[in-house]
Structure formats: structure tokens, C-alpha cells
Chains A and B, each alone.
With several copies, the nearest count.
Chain A
């Protein structure tokens, strides 16, 4: 779950990481008041898209009136498909140097990794690889002072800036670990006359650990369908095509989409309903898919932990209660295959054993429709 900048900065403040003085506002009037207090300000749209600045979602204002005008403008903007409900109005800070600092988890090393570059402020993908220091942190050791000194040596940093790093990095590491962050990024980390200040905050919390952080708000910057899918604990992604796809397992779902394309069709979505779902959940997944008005429905089940009879039962139930009048291509093999096939036959549904056959049939159905 990505956190809005202002929430990330609230976390930073909780962990004694300096942030600019600022106010979260929900109206242009409040932005004006905040600017009256803070003086010269920067006004930042609180949306999750990365390219706020380039899209005009960030503005500077040197007077309260200007702050109001800019806030009005930003509140009206759509950024990455969403309008901001909140703006962050912050004092303009005096930046001597922009630094990139992040903590994330390196899957290959199986460890948290510190990323630091003196080329901050730009998009991280534009930072030259050799200008980025990566330091994996053994979780049994934690982020120790010596690591920061060594990172500083590799960066060519010493003196006061090194002292600032030695204070700041262990705090960010604590936040990263205690808050179950997938990413805790500060870009730019601004060197000001008063020391380092986090000018931005990008914090992503591990969805699987959200249950440990009941105090964090749940952020729902998603389409309605994606939200429904989230509530059903489904991996669901909307795509632009015509064939609705439902399969069990992320890999095989991707492979199904690939095969749809291979046979000349276009997938309408990615829907992995996971392993071991019961009739209820499978029915709900089906209903969600049908709600997207696809032209063809393709179901690809290779039952392992998922039982074929459960999927067939769910399908025939939904068919009965809601009526499924669009063309369906069904593939069904694996655990309890015979039982599942019998249920489908009873419901008048033909099913395939081969994925290739089912997918090419679905594409044929699309062409016929």
C-alpha cells in the first residue's frame, strides 16, 4: 500500500526524520491560511502518481493569495486518473544539495538494502548505476554506524554531512523495519543550512503486513473493480481487450493471457483467483468478471490445491442465479477433474482438457461474436 506523501512524512516525523514545516489542507481557503502562516510555500498534490511535478501537481507560491490560486488549480487537476482530496502546503526550504536515499528489500540478497546517491532530485532510474551506492543490511546486525561511515566513504562524504547521515539512516531503517515498508524513499533528501530534511516521502507498506499496522489509514486510490477484487483477495488487473480470463495461479494466468494473444485474441483482464478458493469466493470472482461486460469468458483451471468440482459448482451456481449468456470456453483438469466435468456437463457446459484448445476456442468464439 503506497502512502500519500503527507502520511509518509507523518511517519518520518514519528521517527525523528526532519521534514519541512507544513499543513495538510482540503480546500483552497485552507491552503491560503497555511501559506499565511508559513510564508513562501510549495503546494503539493497528494496523489500517488510518480510524475506529479512534471504534470503540474506541484506549485510554488510566494503569497497567501497565490497559494490559494494554485491550490484551486491543483484541486481541479486529474493526476494519474485521480483528483487530489488533499494538498500538502509546506514552507519552501533552502536546498544546498539534493540527495537520493531509499531503503527497499533486495530479493536476491534476501536483505534490506540501502540505496544512496548524491544525484538526488531526479528520477531514480536516471541516476547512473555507478553513482548509486547499494548496501545490503543483515537484519541480524541492523543498520549500524559503521555501515553509514563506509557508505559515506564510498560516496566521498565526510564531516557534517556524514554526521547527519549517521543520525538519519538508522532512523529510516527503524521505520522501514518496524512499519513493514517495502520501500522508504526520500528523493530529494535536501541538505539545508540546518541539516538534512526530507523534501519528499515515498513509503510503501507491505500489504501482507497491514494487519500489524491498524493505526495506518487504508488508502484506496483504485478503480471500483480493483477495490472489489481487493476485498475478495483476488489478483485482478484491468486490461483493454475482449476476452475475460480467469485462472488459478499468477504464472498460468499470465501464460493464458500470452496464449490469448498468441492465437490472435485480446485479454480483458488478468484475474488470478488463487489456490484453494471455496465455492463462495469462486462465485464472487465470476460475478466480478461478468460485471465487466466482456465478450467472451475463458476459464483455465489446472487443479492442484484448487478443486475442479468447486470451480464447476461455482460456475453452475452463478450460471443459474445470474444467467451467463456470453460465450464461454472452459478448461478443467487436475484435482477432482471427473467430478467437476460431470457438474459442468449437467449444466450443459462443454469443457476442454487442453489449455491450447480452450484458448483457441475462446478466440474463435470472439471472432464469431
Chain B
């Protein structure tokens, strides 16, 4: 079982003929993702890794229905491509690019809300239903089926933690990368809700970081509405206030979004917070053992 996607999900790759698009199309196919088509304006009629390429999303969906689209589109053109996918009726969008302008992201989210579509990202590694379907750019080998749901604000750190789980032979149901930008589609709470109602997910790992109030909001939700155990790791304990650490979110401003406030909120919701990424598997086992 999994959330959002499964092995039946029909996936479109927008920007399939580019370097990133074609490489990850191959990777996703290897993982088992059901890719039904790609879009690259002006390249219609070609194939990439055996996948047919269309000129427009409308042409693609005319030929075969599509459930989800992953975008490998340069940031300045990502809004247009995302709006195209939404207009063509696609209900799950995975926005890989970073540096999408803030107001473009706001415009995309507004249309996604209107169309009842789920947007993962932007600036995300995507999401994976382990062993069934990967719509993203994460390294295939770490994502093996198992009982743990993972949701993360950052990419490589999430691989690090999933890597530790895998080393310990703990697999995952679904791993979702929320994306590192200020405006992203899914938030912790959205994904926690899904995990809570997914029978296959027994334990949840939340990978957060300093800045913003997403972890505090997640903690409040866990406290009020979750029965499943949650384990967390938070990055940024050593970060000085007022400096932006890469992500739009990773900045401690005006005393808000500190490491301490997040740990306190999570602990208050019964969530154990690991000191080091390598401690996560033990905490998961401990939580699952209860």
C-alpha cells in the first residue's frame, strides 16, 4: 500500500528530452514506474527510453490518460508547464525544478486548489511508493517496501535517513519530499493525514529543519489526530539566527522556528527526535515495538 500513487499510476514526463528528463525517465522505468508518455514542445513523434514524446500535454492525454506528471522544466518555464498539466486535467504534479519564482509558485498552487490537484514541490526529489512507483529523482536502491512512511522537507538528508533505515532492513511505504521552497504544494500535515489512514504505514518518520512553523504545526496535528507513532530528525541545530541556510525556509527569523521550539513541540506530541540521522532506525524500532 502507499499514498498518492501506486503501481497503476500513469505518469507523464514533462521535459522528457532534456538531460535530466531523459536520464530520470530511464531511472524511473528501471524502478518500475508506469511512464506512459513524455512532452517536449517541438519534439513530438520522438521516443525517449521507448516512451512516446508529444508536443503538448493535451496531445499526450488524448492518446492515453495520465494520472501524474513530473516536470523537468527550467524554472522560468515551469509555471506554464504546470498550468498546462492542470488544464489538461492531471491531478498529481511533481515539480522537480528549483528556483521557480515565488509568485509563479503561488499562481500554480492557486490553480491546483481550484482543480483539486496535489502538487509535490517545487524543489523536491519527488515521491516514491516503494517497490511500486517512483515519481522523482531519488536513487532507486534505497527505496524498498516496508512499514515506514517518510516525509521530508529536504532531499539528500532524506536519502541519508532512508539509507540508514535500509541498512537496518527497514523498508518504506511511501517517501514524500515536500520541497525546499517557501511555497510548496504539500505540507507535513497533508502527508501525515494520508499516512494515518494508510493501513500499510505503521510508523512515520518526519525529517524537518529549522525555520518557519511547519514542524510546530505538524506537532499540533500529531498530538490531536494521529494514532501512529512518529519519529523525527531536525536539521539546523547549530545554525546561527538570521542567516539563510540554502532553503527558503531554513532561516531563523525573529526568534521563530528555532530548533528548540520545534523539538519541544514534537516532544510534547510524543514524538522522539533523533540527535543524529543514524539514530532514526533505533527510534523507529522502539516506536514500532510499543
Contact = CB atoms under 8 A, between A and B. Distances in A.
A249 interface: yes
A257 B238 CA distance: 7
A141 interface: yes
A251 B155 contact: yes
Interface stretch (A17-25, A186-194, A216-224, A300-308): A300-308
A69 B147 CA distance: 71
Interface in A223-277: 235, 237, 239, 247-255, 257-262, 267, 270, 272, 274-276
B46 interface: no
A94 interface: no
Interface stretch (A35-43, A70-78, A204-212, A285-293): A204-212
A253 B110 CA distance: 32
B236 A258 contact: yes
Contacts of B80: 144-146
A314 to B, nearest CB: 17
Contacts of B3: none
B260 interface: no
A121 interface: no
A112 interface: yes
A334 B139 contact: yes
A355 interface: yes
Interface stretch (A58-66, A103-111, A322-330): A103-111
B160 interface: yes
A251 B249 contact: no
B277 A302 contact: no
Contact of B55 (A149, A182, A209, A356): A149
A182 B102 contact: yes
A180 B101 contact: yes
Interface residues of B, number: 80
B156 A111 contact: no
Contact of B238 (A150, A235, A267): A267
Nearest to B105: A110
B183 A206 contact: no
Interface in B77-107: 77, 80-81, 83-84, 87, 98-107
A125 interface: yes
Interface in A78-108: 105, 107-108
A333 interface: yes
B197 interface: no
A153 B160 contact: no
Contacts of A158: 42, 55
B160 A237 contact: no
Contacts of A138: 87, 110
Nearest to A210: B101
B182 A304 contact: no
A180 B103 contact: yes
B67 to A, nearest CB: 19
A206 B103 contact: yes
B217 interface: yes
B150 interface: no
Interface string A122-153: 00110000000000001111001111011001
B266 to A, nearest CB: 16
Contact of A255 (B59, B160, B244): B160
Residue among A237, A239, A250 with the most chain B CB within 10 A?
Answer: A250
Contact of A355 (B41, B107, B214, B277): B277
B187 A108 contact: yes
B221 interface: no
Contacts of B210: 254
A267 B236 CA distance: 12
A182 B253 CA distance: 15
A208 B101 contact: yes
A139 B239 contact: no
Given A141-B83, A355-B277, A209 B245 contact: no
A304 B102 contact: no
Residue among A110, A153, A237 with the most chain B CB within 10 A?
Answer: A110
A61 to B, nearest CB: 32
A141 B79 CA distance: 11
A107 B251 CA distance: 14
B212 A107 contact: yes
Contacts of A304: 125, 137-139, 155-156, 159
A-B complex: 3 closest residue pairs judged by Cβ atoms: A251-B154, A250-B246, A249-B156
Given A149-B56, A270-B243, A272-B245, 16 more contacts: A105-B102, A110-B105, A138-B87, A141-B87, A206-B102, A250-B209, A251-B180, A251-B246, A254-B209, A254-B239, A257-B238, A262-B276, A304-B156, A333-B163, A335-B139, A355-B278
Interface of A: 105, 107-108, 110-112, 124-125, 138-141, 144-147, 149-150, 153, 158, 177, 180, 182, 206, 208-209, 211-212, 235, 237, 239, 247-255, 257-262, 267, 270, 272, 274-276, 302-306, 333-335, 354-356
25 contacts: A107-B248, A108-B187, A108-B217, A110-B109, A110-B185, A125-B254, A146-B83, A147-B87, A153-B56, A153-B58, A206-B102, A208-B102, A211-B76, A237-B244, A250-B247, A250-B250, A253-B245, A253-B246, A254-B157, A254-B246, A255-B160, A258-B237, A275-B156, A304-B125, A356-B276
Interface of B: 20, 41-42, 44, 55-59, 75-77, 80-81, 83-84, 87, 98-107, 109-111, 113-114, 125, 137-139, 152-160, 163, 180, 182-185, 187, 207, 209-210, 212-214, 217, 233, 235-240, 243-250, 254-255, 275-278
